[in-house]
Amino acid sequence: MLTKSENRSFGGVQGVYTHRSESCACDMTFGLYLPPQAQTGKVPLLWYLSGLTCTHDNAMTKAGAQAWAAAAGVAVVFPDTSPRGPGVADDEAYDLGQGAGFYVNATQDPWAPHFRMWDYIATDLPALLAAEFPLDMDRQSITGHSMGGHGALTLALTLPDRFRSVSAFAPIANPTQSDWGRKQLGAYLGEDSAAWEAHDSTLLMTERGFAGPLLVDQGAQDQFLDLLKPEALAHAIAARRQPATFRMQAGYDHSYFFVASFMRDHIDFHAEALRA
């Protein structure tokens, strides 16, 4: 692991690190904020998964998470959204290839050799974090925005013993029924739509639910509402009688101005679960 930068922030340290990923077979970069409490002991960990076109940097610099994480004594990790590099497959479209890993393990060419973002988030990066930083890996929660909200929900619903709580900002909530999903899932996983179902939070909610607390914020003026399909997830939550908070936020769009406006709520929400 190489340290690219470390900056003091609200009494803690915002770092950026690069390492060789076995899952993605390339170098990967992530940001990690360690609150001041990490100077004296292990702290719980919140995952933040970013959306289409983002790197580790977007949320790290735009979401305003550090102040609230420092107050709560919670570390926040900001992974990249895909493998990158000259030997990694890409596409001219913004919503496929580098910057658009969709948090799945690709099985189709040319994506399969590197696009294994599910394993990277579920296995590869957690092992590195546990080995290198003062983190209590028995206390983890997860959140994300847009494509990252999709990833956060599907990971939490699939790995319920890993995460104590889950939240999402404007998640791609029903990708098997959306152009933001059918395109990527078809490219990465093949044309058999049965293989896609494990990566659809609406279907997973219908099938199994989540044992811990769940929070979703969605901007009511989001320009991508037709692609996100929040109503499908809301209906699945209601039909299952899943304990959850689902908030339509009047006037808010899909931008990081929306995410930053409610970041404190989400960190406080997870901090309460991580204290239990």
For 66-91, b/e burial (b = at least 16 CB within 10 A) is: bebbbbbbbbbbbbbbbbbeeebbbe
> Which tokens sit at 245?
């908070």
Burial (CB count within 10 angstroms: exposed 0-12, middle 13-18, buried 19+), residue 161 = exposed
DSSP state at residue 164: S
- Please, are residues 57 and 33 in contact by the beta-carbon 8 Å criterion? no
Please report, as a single letter, which amino acid is at residue 234: A
Instruction: Give the model's pLDDT for residue 134.
Output: 98
Catalytic residues: 146, 222, 254
Alpha helices for the chain (secondary structure H): 57-62, 65-72, 117-119, 125-132, 147-158, 179-189, 201-207, 225-228, 230-240, 256-275
- pLDDT per position as a tens digit, 104-138: 999 999 999 999 999 999 999 999 999 999 999 99
- pLDDT per position as a tens digit, 70-115: 999 999 999 999 999 999 999 999 999 999 999 999 999 999 999 9
Instruction: Give the model's pLDDT for residue 9.
Output: 98
- pLDDT per position as a tens digit, 5-63: 999 999 999 999 999 999 999 999 999 999 999 999 999 999 999 999 999 999 999 99
Alpha helices for 91-221 (secondary structure H): 117-119, 125-132, 147-158, 179-189, 201-207
List the CATH number of the domain containing 21. 3.40.50.1820
> Which tokens sit at 153?
């929900």
Rounded CA Rg of the chain: 17
Instruction: Give the model's pLDDT for residue 113.
Output: 98
Statement: residue 276 has pLDDT above 90: no
Expressed as residue numbers, the domain containing 176 is 2-275
> Using DSSP, how many helices (H) and how many strands (E) does the chain show?
10, 9
- pLDDT per position as a tens digit, 179-235: 999 999 999 999 999 999 999 999 999 999 999 999 999 999 999 999 999 999 999
Instruction: Give the model's pLDDT for residue 37.
Output: 98
DSSP state at residue 123: I
Prediction pTM value = 0.98
Band of the pLDDT at 175, cuts 50, 70, 90?
Answer: very high
- pLDDT per position as a tens digit, 261-273: 999 999 999 999 9
- pLDDT per position as a tens digit, 145-155: 999 999 999 99
Structurally, the chain folds into a number of domains equal to: 1
DSSP state at residue 208: T
Cβ-based neighbours of 192, under 8 Å, separated by 6 or more: none
Counting every residue written for the chain, the total comes to 276
Instruction: Give the model's pLDDT for residue 192.
Output: 95
CA end-to-end distance (rounded Å), the chain:
32
